[in-house]
Structure 1
């Protein structure tokens, strides 16, 4: 009995001492940030069922409106901006703050008005396939209770 109580308390102690680093940790991956700095065009947005299902990207517009959008990523101050200028969609321009945490997650906040700089909400996406001329951001979406990957393909401008 004493042995089982000791084991249970020891297990709780070990789990309680485990380091917890949130996804939005301020520890950054500077190497990847420097690799993607610059001007880009979002060349495609793809996900399963994209011909039939509409996905709202970043709570701004339909994902198809983002195709052709222009993005700027400045790595030394983690600022940037993007502009939607798709002829069949409403135009939208916004500044952003962004960084890539040590887990390779792209953390972005859209700053579309002066009060938004104080917001704690943002978007967390996976970064993958980083090259000199392109990279992908992958968001996790939910369609009918099923998780899907929404892939944003960026090409250097």
Structure 2
């Protein structure tokens, strides 16, 4: 019985000591302030994009995000995003919460109207790259035939 108790305590300690996740690390305030504003996705690219489809953020084909509008508010980590309806692309609009952690990871939650971010369990972690005053990229890793590749979302500032 003592052995079972000791194993249980060790298991709890191992679970309690696991490393911090992307959502619990410190924020990169300067990256967040640089992302503040309204942005448009000007392109989405990845190797083999002419042959495979990527369902971005569980919403639509990645190509539907070209022309989408994103608003980021850095002082409260809120904002919104919307997709334009065209061809096979659905219209979609939603509030979001977001932040950039010290590891350069962009953490995003897409919310339903009136929903609190803390109630949303699912989110997305992307890497911020090539950030300037007028543009930045978000990189998402996907598995294509057993090989990890980047989906690159190119954002350009609209205001």
* TM-score in terms of structure 1 length: 0.84
Q: How does 1:1-157 map to 2 (within 5 A)?
A: 20-88=19-87, 89-115=89-115, 117=117, 118-157=119-158
Indicate if the aligned counterparts of 1:108 and 1:124 stay in contact, CA closer than 8 A.
Answer: yes
> Which runs of 5 or more structure 2 residues have no equivalent in the other structure?
1-16
The secondary structure found in structure 1 opposite 2:31 is helix
What is the number of residues matched between the two proteins?
A: 142
Distance 1:87 1:99, change over 3 A: same
Whichever of the two has the greater Rg, that structure is 1
Tell me by how many angstroms 1:114 deviates. 3.6
1:127 Cα offset (Å): 0.2
Please list the CA deviations of residues 86-141 of structure 1 after superposition, one character each: whole Å capped at 9, or x if unmatched.
Answer: 42211000110000011110000000244463012100000011101000000001
Residue 19 of structure 1: how far off its partner (Å): 8.2
Contact preservation (8 Å) 1:66, 1:86: no
Query: C-alpha separation between the residues in 2 aligned to 1:93 and 1:154?
Result: 17
User: Do the aligned partners of residues 51 and 116 (structure 1) sit closer, same or farther apart at CA in structure 2, a change above 3 Å counting?
Assistant: farther
Q: Secondary structure at the match of 1:120?
A: coil
Residue 154 of structure 1 aligns to a residue whose secondary structure is strand
What is the CA–CA distance in structure 2 between the aligned matches of 1:130 and 1:110, rounded to whole Å? 22
Q: Indicate the RMSD between aligned Cα atoms, in angstroms.
A: 1.9
Q: Using the alignment, how far apart are the partners of 2:111 and 2:120 within structure 1?
A: 9
TM-score (norm 2): 0.83
Deviations 1:54-108 (CA, angstroms, capped at 9, x unpaired):
0000000000000000000000000011110042211000110000011110000
8 Å CA contact retained: 1:106, 1:126: yes
SS at match of 1:76: coil
